[in-house]
Amino acid sequence: MAFYQWRGADLILDCHLQPGAKTMGFAGIHGERLKIRISAPPVNGKANALLLAFLAGEFAVSKQQVTLLSGQQSRQKRVLIASPQQLPEALHLAPPGDIASTGDAL
């Protein structure tokens, strides 16, 4: 199973969040999920809010286009990015409609 899949023009990411990290960014694969380091602590939704803002910036969309589908109280999260305008090169994601549009990137 891949850490991402396309639903039409929308991207769904399965993530493993590392809150309270010293640096922010993509950190490879954790099991079958994309590991993301976030500097905010896992308190009062701060890590979730920063995760959504980070992903919005990386995929060049507004924060309103990034939705937490599941995992509000967990490190394991599923996130929907509506019509991403760019794909971060570090993730090596196949664009929608590509034959490899669900796969093990990175």
Instruction: Provide the pLDDT for residue 98.
Output: 63
Q: What is the DSSP string of 63-93?
A: GGGEEEEE-TTSSEEEEEESS-S---GGG-P
Q: 94: helix, coil or strand?
A: coil
Burial of 15 (0-12, 13-18, 19+ CB in 10 A): buried
Give the type of residue at 22.
K
Domain ranges of the chain: 4-86
Can you tell me the distance from the alpha carbon of 102 to that of 29, in angstroms, rounded to the nearest whole number?
15
- Give per-residue pLDDT as tens, 21-30: 999 999 999 9
According to the model, what pLDDT value does residue 96 have?
A: 85
* Nearest CA-CA partner of 71 in 93, 45, 91: 45
Class level of CATH domain 4-86: alpha beta
Each of the 106 residues of the chain gets a pLDDT tens digit; together they read 589 999 999 999 999 999 999 999 999 999 999 999 999 999 999 999 999 999 999 999 999 999 999 999 999 999 999 999 999 999 989 888 764 444 555 5
